[in-house]
Amino acid sequence: MDIQFINNQFDIQSDQDCVLVLGYFDGLHRGHKALFDKAREIAEQENLKVVVLTFNESPRLAFARFTPELLLHIAYPEKRYAKFEEYGVDKLYLVDFTTQFSKISSDQFIKTFIEGLGAKAVVVGFDYKFGHNRTDSDYLSRNFSGKVITVPEVQDDVGKISSSRIRELITEGNVAKANELLGYEFSTRGMVVHGDARGRTIGFPTANLAPIDRTYLPSDGVYVTDVLLHGKRYRAMTSVGKNVTFGGTELRLEANIFDFEGDIYGETIEIIWLDKIRDMVKFDGIDALVAQLESDKEIALNFGTE
């Protein structure tokens, strides 16, 4: 897959007719995948390339009062790019959603970007809006000479699958349901750094992680996880939160990796979140903590075996 970072329509290097997929795809969940499935179907029928035009960051940054959460993503950039490629995208254009970009009219956008990219067909979601006048796919179909396909919402037994719903599930700690809606496993990358080294003194050594991406973290608690390290996948249990039993005041991300020994400081590992075991608890003493950790480990080891 070819990735192009562009500033405006003049940076477009289009050399072949395409099926163009439009939207902001944070997370690339099952609802998004439906768009790419349709685009790939059309591309195969008409011998076209699948091209995506999307944004590096949330368009809300250009409109809403800033909060740090606006810079967070469900998937880190490299994982996001890998999903685009997995979904059949041949060329990915990434542009910043700036004030200047937000002022482009719908007609200008059709002429400079959609036609400029050589689109013979455009695939969008049911709630897609574009241009400063916020027109929809019906307007696009009336003002673009090519084919316009509007993909309906994808639902589960609760309702619409959406990025906002997945973010809520992650921040609530319901990573198992988030994974179900994503269609793949939510993960976090972190560099292994020195901590208090307290875990090894009680038989549960942990890799203390400094997150390296602007991605969401699950709510405080202990989780069943897998860890990707040196190209191998290990079962683990991972805690997020303040180490309240020992009077901790700072947020910690710590993974107890099973069947692994060795120092890995300075290395980057990936935590794959599978399910939540329990909330963070303040224990009366070391014995109670160790007993709980033994129980947690048993749950983690047995996860997925039923």
pLDDT in tens, 167-216: 999 999 999 999 999 999 999 999 999 977 666 666 688 999 999 999 99
- Compare 162 and 196 and report the one with higher pLDDT: 162
Categorize the per-residue pLDDT at 304 as very low, low, confident or very high, splitting at 50, 70 and 90. Answer: confident
Q: What is the pLDDT of residue 246?
A: 46
Give yes or no for a contact between 84 and 45, defined as CB atoms under 8 angstroms apart: no
pTM for the structure as a whole? 0.92
Share of residues in the chain with pLDDT > 70 (%): 94
Measuring CA to CA, which residue among 185, 202, 178 is closest to residue 256?
202
Which ranges of the chain does DSSP label H, i.e. alpha helix?
Answer: 30-46, 77-86, 99-102, 106-109, 137-143, 163-172, 175-182, 286-302
Q: What is the pLDDT of residue 198?
A: 65
Q: What is the pLDDT of residue 243?
A: 66
Counting every residue written for the chain, the total comes to: 306
Q: What is the pLDDT of residue 201?
A: 64
For the segment 168-177, what is each residue's pLDDT rounded down to a tens digit? 999 999 999 9
**Phi, psi at residue 13, to the nearest 5°?**
-120, 80
Give all domains of the chain, ordered by start, each with its CATH number. 2-151 (3.40.50.620), 185-302 (2.40.30.30)
Q: Which amino acid is at 275?
A: D
Phi/psi region, residue 23 (left: phi>0; alpha: psi -120 to 50; beta: rest), is left
For the segment 124-135, what is each residue's pLDDT rounded down to a tens digit? 999 999 999 999
Q: What is the mean pLDDT of residues 22-42?
A: 96
Q: Given a cut of 70, is residue 271 above it in pLDDT?
A: yes
For the segment 51-74, what is each residue's pLDDT rounded down to a tens digit? 999 999 999 999 999 999 999 999
Give yes or no for a contact between 18 and 118, defined as CB atoms under 8 angstroms apart: yes
Strand pairing report for 91-95 and 119-125: unpaired
